[in-house]
Structure 1
């Protein structure tokens, strides 16, 4: 239901008659309906009867038999107490066949002394539905995500589903914003180890679509279980400015600008030497017996870190370790923890990238006492040696743009700068339980 016309004239505090025409979006009037308009003026609540209520029997009969498509309601005199102020916020309700509720605002756009025009600005109820989808709509939502069209039969959808099955990727948490059962936007939340989750959005092509995507993301994130997921992450390209606005509207915070770097490894990088960091430094490889050593070494490297400091303290250290293990193909022989006696100095974690001839530097961090002594350079030389020994041709990494010491080290080691992405995060409260939400399967 919409307000189709509003007219008012008056000066200063002179009473202003308002003629309001009510109708539906398809042009039909409110024939035979009883209308009640609630006006809020300067905090005073006025209920003004209109429509067939309050009219004589003859007048009601005339209105019922009228051929006009609009049903006109002449409200009683309204005294304007604050020109230019948002004086009216009515709730317009009808009985009988119309059961919708419209919240609107009437603004008086006029000079301070003279009320010479009245402008209507109404807020329609949000007709969009935000749903977790299953069945045929699940594939249609994936089509929207992958191609920009909600086509469940697109070959890209089948290819992606097959890939997800091969990688044991959970793609059940798929959401869609629907208007009249047509998908307007979609979102996929993919859980991963370490109580994290990655958010993938369909394209947000213009600013007018930001609010829809923002509400979709917010609805999906707010029903996640904080005991199962602590961080929802999203990575954005530089040109995804509307997607960024949507995430901010949903409550995501900026984490970092990540710079991706890579270096090709050649035969000259391969040596037979073992990692030697000095007589006082002991190097441990990963094992369950060394779990606490790695945990303490990682925590020691977080002190005064420049590497995504907003993540500090959000997750338990064992969840952090689980997340690092899941980043590629884990091999305990490629994980190193450094100690000087019982004092943790840092760690270097390398994983092989699945289906690629490359290793990823998952994490390199040193405790404050170990920085500036050349340990980082020696560890990186060993990383390139390991990469060559495993017959991989590349080593890759992502580094926080603000971590200048690390960036300078990698550049000196021959790493080339690649693309830059913006990392956004949504942190869930551990007390937040998964709540029931509106699911749809067809």
Structure 2
């Protein structure tokens, strides 16, 4: 929920002297971003922490590492956009790739193409998957797709759940990691078995790999091997790699050609997208090689948060999963989200950004809240003792 801290400016000349005006949601968000950005210590830099001038300056300063900045800008997907498609296909081990302005659009195109090929418009996926929770029923409203759920457990489906599911489906869609369940992943053997179970049913397999980049440490397999289990994969460039926006769908050449047609129909064939493409290429070069170190240190941070909360005597808490499967994980505490938001903001104002935004428990009892913790480059400088001390300071700010 937005902050409602008072602002000293009156709403209008008729407002009583000394009365305070509440911040609008946009003002509250800008205030929070400014506070988090100014904190001297943080576990993660996020793209929203930077001003437009900073993002543009960085692209101009660093873009020549990945593309000739003296070349003409892209026109309808050539130039740097085509280069990002080529590089992504190469990283994931697929013959073809197509760039989309959003992942929502990329998966709409991919799954309706598979539906046409399989003759079955039913997609099996988790009820916590992104299209079910965050896309306003776009699959059904725009693409004529129907969704079914082999499991409602807060994890990916098992092979038996896929194999024995009592409804037919043409495509199995797996979100790796499953973000809303806590960035959770199956084991490698479990993932292989699930894919095989889908193929036994003559279904194709599509990976919602918005954050697939960060799964290799957990699986103990290179990115190509992970992606190669699926028939098609979507990846994002801003969620993990620090890009401005954009997504790429990889798959067989004929599927990608068909998806390009649907991209045009959906309004995704933009005239120029070079800033997003350059930032994606920079993410592949700079952030992708660092992800294993982020995942390893996230495990140190998560363990220290658990220890810090226990030492502080918090009556109930949960760090989930333990250890984290990626460089992102959840922390649950028995307080209202507004209380925890206020404590996070006060701690950041004092110079340390440990937690950011908290949300009320989506399905549990009132009085529980959850936050997502991300560890990237700046978090590598935190020792376990640093984390425990920051947790103690945070708990001291709670009522």
Q: Is the shorter-chain TM-score for this pair beyond 0.5, marking a shared fold?
A: no
Larger Rg: 1
More helix by share: 2
More strand by share: 1
TM-score normalized with structure 1 length: 0.21
TM-score normalized with structure 2 length: 0.22
**Larger RCO: Structure 1 or Structure 2 (Cα < 8 Å, ≥ 6 residues apart)?**
2
